[in-house]
Amino acid sequence: MPLDDPLDSRVGALNTALKHHAAKDILRRAFEAAPNLALVSSFGAESVALLHLAARAKPDVQVIFIDTMLLFPETLTYQREVARGLGLRRVQVIRADTSSDPDNTLNQRDPDACCDLRKTAVLAAALASYDGWITGRKRFQSGQRADLQAFEVEQDTGRIKVNPLAHWTSTDVQDYITENNLPRHPLVARGYPSIGCAPCTTPVAKGEDPRAGRWRGTQKDECGIHFVNGKMVRTGATQ
């Protein structure tokens, strides 16, 4: 499609053309439509599926990993092991200036402000030089994502956001990990089906929602690093 088409038109055409296509096809077309794409990954419980798909579609895919400096040690080790195992050569590890939270207690006083400091602002700066970004968000993860499309528009930034796994179920993800013999995050076996920062993540009991362990005891259930209509809002984590 012509690159001078309005972004809304281009994204709409992509969603129509790829409505019933597999994630690998969505990724391939995404890299054609916007070659300068970055994949933002938490290297969390389900991240390895998308990382594997992207590595196969584009071996030199740019990956952005936010080290909040409050992550579980297991996540940091897993990130290095997965990157090495999948041959991901371009992994950019970004960190915020956390001098305003010297004792690492902002998460206890104001978890939204902590996410803004350690995730939102630093990611916005890192994405400024890219045409778009790839996320692992899926429709089944929350009501806010029920109408999620494979391609979205960030109007104010002029970026495309790509969600190759939008239509995948949790079973799809687990089956893909098993079929491709991919390494699982070690905390999954210890009762953490959704993994964020250590102070704000707890194990999940059988029968609980998979995200019940995130910010337990609060009304918060998203980290807030996504954009809607170009504005950074609290609408969903990357994985």
- Contact of 58 with 174, CB cutoff 8 Å: no
The answer to whether residue 176 sits within a structural domain is: yes
The answer to whether residue 238 sits within a structural domain is: no
The answer to whether residue 2 sits within a structural domain is: no
pLDDT at 67 over 90: yes
The answer to whether residue 23 sits within a structural domain is: yes
User: For residues 177-193, b (16+ Cβ closer than 10 Å) or e, as one string?
Assistant: beeeebeebebbeeebb
Active site positions, annotated:
223
Q: pLDDT value at position 50?
A: 97
pLDDT at 225 over 70: no
Q: pLDDT value at position 224?
A: 53
Strands annotated E in 13-168? 37-40, 62-66, 91-94, 132-134, 151-154, 159-162
Q: Write down the mean pLDDT value for the chain.
A: 87
Tell me the per-residue pLDDT of 11-21, one tens digit each, with 9 for 90 and over: 999 999 998 89
Tokens representing 231 are: 């504005």
The answer to whether residue 76 sits within a structural domain is: yes
DSSP H or E stretch at residue 109: helix 106-109
- Of residues 176 and 212, which shows the higher confidence score? 176
Distance CA 114, CA 112 (A): 5
The pTM of the full predicted model, rounded to 2 decimals, is 0.86
Domain total for the chain?
Answer: 1
Tell me the per-residue pLDDT of 95-138, one tens digit each, with 9 for 90 and over: 999 999 999 999 999 999 999 999 999 999 999 999 999 999 88
| Four-residue CA torsion sign, 152, 155, 157, 159 | positive
pLDDT band at residue 148 using 50, 70 and 90 as cut-offs: confident
CATH of the domain at 120: 3.40.50.620
Domain limits at 130?
7-233
The answer to whether residue 204 sits within a structural domain is: yes
